[in-house]
Amino acid sequence: MILFAADRHYDQHCGRVLHQHLAPHYPLMSFHEDDWRCFLDPALPQRCKLLILHFISGACNIPAPDAAAEPLVRATLERGCPVLLLHSGSAAFWQWDWWRPIVGHRWVRPNDPDGFAHSTHPVRPFRLEVAKTRHPLARQLRAIDLPEDEIYTDLEQTCPTTTLLTTTIAEGTFPQAYLATTPWGGQLAAYLPGHRPHVVAHPDMVTNVRTLIDHLLAGARP
């Protein structure tokens, strides 16, 4: 099972839009919007082959996941399950102390429990560029000129990462896709661009996400 959990994300429903484009390619993908009961399945650690997260815990007037979900999500990752963080996914479980250090580049909320200044997202057209790296996955991703949308900046780097895509704007150069490894040896990938529905649905954006999904599934443990 591929578990894809998303919030309505300030009424953009970007996770739902993306899922509509992904579903034909991944028949075992289970999608849930604004409903965190999917994390309460006792069989989650055994059943989940890929965890895709596209939400901010407690945002959009949606209650945070039940506390009973925490040990199940952690057990899933401890088994080496790969994780794909889309857009705001690094803040999916920001309230859990063990979660924040493992996500690579973290979207920092106001009143951060670790005391970091909050992240920002200027809104303007931007270009995704393939990063200068020898990782073969980077060469499979597409550079894209994107219309006006959120650009994630001022994230906290919480662990070593390999940057795959970047964007350069007046404020500097910022990672937009990257890889990391969880403390339990599972692969973690993140793809940050894509807030407004028409940007999320851009064919090259969908292709990039599929490339990351296929990479994570290929390396997933049985």
Contact by Cβ (8 Å): 47, 41: yes
The pLDDT, as a whole number, for residue 222 is: 60
Cα 64–chain centre separation: 17
Say what the pLDDT of residue 189 is: 98
In this prediction, residue 221 carries a pLDDT of: 67
pTM confidence score: 0.97
Burial of 144-176, coded b for 16+ CB within 10 Å and e otherwise, reads: bebeebbbbbbbbebeebbbbbbbeeeeeebbb
- At 157 the pLDDT is 98
CA angle, residues 75, 76, 77, in degrees to nearest 5: 90
Render each residue's pLDDT in the chain as its tens digit; 222 residues.
Answer: 999 999 999 999 999 999 999 999 999 999 999 999 999 999 999 999 999 999 999 998 999 999 999 999 999 999 999 999 999 999 999 999 999 999 999 999 999 999 999 999 999 999 999 999 999 999 999 999 999 999 999 999 999 999 999 999 999 999 999 999 999 999 999 999 999 999 999 999 999 999 999 999 998 766
CATH class of 2-218: alpha beta
Instruction: Round to whole Å and give the CA distance between 63 and 128.
Output: 33
DSSP conformation class of 185: S
